[in-house]
Structure 1
């Protein structure tokens, strides 16, 4: 609204008050001066008060709701989506050289009959806790007489690194804006995934055997083929582990080796050729130490710790860990840095410790989520299909083109529009038949309204 002044809307409001209370009243712009935003109230001057050129408009009155509560009292909500800080209206003044972006707010006001006697209604800021720059809170705030309110925005942006991601948000209130809660959809929003890093961690102990190891390598290639690494959304690496020696640091172990660094090969042909060249190590099964090495590998990738990256470990073993005491702690450290672990056991319950796999995948000895079991190596084909689906599902549909695709710019902006359809009309009481209201004209400083009641 020009100059943050609710002139026209205040007059509409006055009409409704008159309908309810039946006062004779002649309103002009001087009377309307108390229907101004906190910014104008603090920074403005003149009659009606005007914002100085150095002050940014707060768009006070962008949304306006008037309603009658069940107890008969009158309330209203006034949106101000370009408000920098509801508690500090003075920050709208750019001459203060305080670089703050707008967060937006609404005012919740309880109106009494004395309003028509130039007594301003008592208003308070009513917005969710910890508003963010760019929220635009107050663009529209549909409110019912029972206190249910919903406020949405298309403009809230999430910090997704270099990615522009504006999913919007919605909050709901049941007490006229005193407290707010995120709706279910807003809670579930997170940065879209543009990169998935997958590390296959293969048990290379002697019990696997050379022939079965060939099957394992083919299994890795089969999964990778379906991940379409040529498109750039998924990168893959391979670690083989068996024995551990305390003579070497974890990054230089002779039998815990990164054969293919994550993202080293950009085409399936090059990757599968490198996998075929890996030979079985033999020896023991130091799974716990392998997990320690895997954490190092993930931390050394260019995309580590980016909010748009998912890191996935697929560990395959045919036995029990030689260092079982190290497994829970190192697996927890891996999960703590954000790695999503899958654990695959081959050989049935007599050979594989399923509890270890559960601890690796979930940290819970009773949780089978992301745990797969096969009776023999021939049974890996069925597991491959499930893993392909799960890993592929981590990449947001349509994201293969990278951060430049339209899907990332306003992917869930429609969430912010969810409340528009539910906006309710104010509750009005019937007018007396003899009531007549002259047409209202709004022409800047020449605004005038006259109401005659018999």
Structure 2
């Protein structure tokens, strides 16, 4: 579920809907393979060709090595379908468990192949699930002009998580949304759907 942009928004720059609550990451991969683009082109779809998109990826211990490999594949497929360029889509990547880590800032790469190569080796650490801290970190350290945030460009964050957060996500998510970021969530395995719905942009059924 999410809020702000419509479901067509993510479809416009990735061949998959923006938010999912799915028992397995493989379901997400299947939806990428089978999703059909809708014929109606909304304003959100047009805007998606020019966007700053940050993926906030849960790497907690409950994910496990095999599932994290599938998360890498999922990210690889989405980024492959983005119009990544200096004047197009910019991509950032944050992973988090007990603590968040910035791997790619919005101004790190403007070459899609470099991002894809990095995603292939995105490290997995394990640990707790502090989603609220990751949202605050992303707002303070990633969505900044110094790190590549562009004025007048759609700002999008996609949280990928499999479990209930160990900290409070509601306030952190609200602050991030107030900062002009459309927030989507991808729920994997044991994700708390109610928590995801509180996190994402309105209406939640379009962003989770």
TM score, norm. by length of structure 1: 0.34
Shift in Å, 1:233: 0.8
CA contact (8 A) 1:230 1:266 kept: yes
Shift in Å, 1:231: 6.4
1:241 is aligned to 96
Structure 1's 363 and 286: CA in aligned 2 closer, same or farther, altered over 3 A? Answer: farther
CA contact (8 A) 2:106 2:149 kept: no
Shift in Å, 1:303: 3.7
Aligned runs of 1:269-308 on 2, under 5 Å?
269-296=113-140, 297-300=142-145, 301-304=147-150, 306-307=151-152
Shift in Å, 1:302: 3.8
CA contact (8 A) 1:197 1:236 kept: yes
The 3-state SS of whatever aligns with 2:126 is coil
Segments ≥4 residues shifted beyond 3 Å? 192-195, 300-304
CA contact (8 A) 1:361 1:369 kept: no
The 3-state SS of whatever aligns with 2:54 is strand
1:346 is aligned to 188
Aligned runs of 1:301-340 on 2, under 5 Å?
301-304=147-150, 306-307=151-152, 309-323=153-167, 326-340=168-182
- Give the distance between the partners of 1:288 and 1:363, measured in 2 at CA: 18
Shift in Å, 1:274: 1.1
Shift in Å, 1:263: 3.2
Structure 1's 240 and 302: CA in aligned 2 closer, same or farther, altered over 3 A? Answer: closer
The 3-state SS of whatever aligns with 1:289 is helix
The 3-state SS of whatever aligns with 1:201 is strand
5+ long unaligned stretches in structure 2: 1-42
- Give the distance between the partners of 1:310 and 1:341, measured in 2 at CA: 11
CA contact (8 A) 1:295 1:334 kept: yes
- Give the distance between the partners of 1:338 and 1:329, measured in 2 at CA: 15
The 3-state SS of whatever aligns with 2:63 is coil
CA contact (8 A) 2:107 2:148 kept: no
Aligned runs of 1:41-120 on 2, under 5 Å?
none
Structure number with the bigger relative contact order (C-alpha 8 A, sep ≥ 6) is: 2
- Give the distance between the partners of 2:159 and 2:107, measured in 1 at CA: 18
1:226 is aligned to 81
Structure 1's 230 and 363: CA in aligned 2 closer, same or farther, altered over 3 A? Answer: closer
The 3-state SS of whatever aligns with 2:205 is coil
Per residue, is there more helix in 1 or in 2?
A: 2
The 3-state SS of whatever aligns with 1:229 is coil
- Give the distance between the partners of 2:107 and 2:198, measured in 1 at CA: 27
- Equivalent of residue 57 in structure 2, options 185, 197, 202: 202
Tell me the number of residue pairs that the alignment of Structure 1 and Structure 2 aligns.
162
- Equivalent of residue 362 in structure 1, options 192, 201, 204: 201
Backbone CA RMSD of aligned residues: 2.1
Larger radius of gyration: 1
- Give the distance between the partners of 2:123 and 2:85, measured in 1 at CA: 25
5+ long unaligned stretches in structure 1: 1-188, 244-254, 372-454
TM score, norm. by length of structure 2: 0.72
